[in-house]
Amino acid sequence: MAIHICLIGALLFNIYLNVTTICHTYILYDIILIPDDCSEVYFDINLSLSFITAIYAGQLVILLSYSLLKLLFLLWSIITRSSSSTSTKINHRHNNCSYHLLQYLN
């Protein structure tokens, strides 16, 4: 779970650095750079490759966020089920990973 958070943070920082380097920016509140115009991306191959890398990193952030939310939901369901359940029988709708995680928590 920590690796998800670290990867999401690193990818978001990578996206921010790529986009603010490639595009024309304006300064907001004297500290934050906001991209304004990215029209030079279409004229230089190096800028376009860097911009596409930022787009792919954004897609990866979406997938990692979904995976993190799914993992958090799985942990939440295991914790609530083990604390409120009277039996420790494993339900067959969960996969093998949740079984081992439940054994580790008990």
Rg for the chain (alpha carbons), in Å?
Answer: 21
Cβ neighbours, 10 Å, residue 19: 20
Q: Is 36 helix (H, G, I), strand (E, B) or coil?
A: strand
Among 53, 57, 58, residue whose Cα is nearest residue 22 = 53
pLDDT class of 93 with cuts at 50, 70, 90: low
Question: Is the separation of the CB atoms in 16 and 6 below 8 Å?
Answer: no
Report percent pLDDT > 70 for the chain.
76
3-state secondary structure of 87: coil
The predicted model scores a pTM of 0.64
Alpha-helical regions (H) of the chain: 2-22, 45-84, 96-105
pLDDT tens-digit readout, 30-81 = 777 877 877 877 887 888 888 888 889 899 999 989 988 888 888 888 778 7
Checking if the pLDDT of 100 tops 80, the result is no
Span 75-93, mean pLDDT? 64
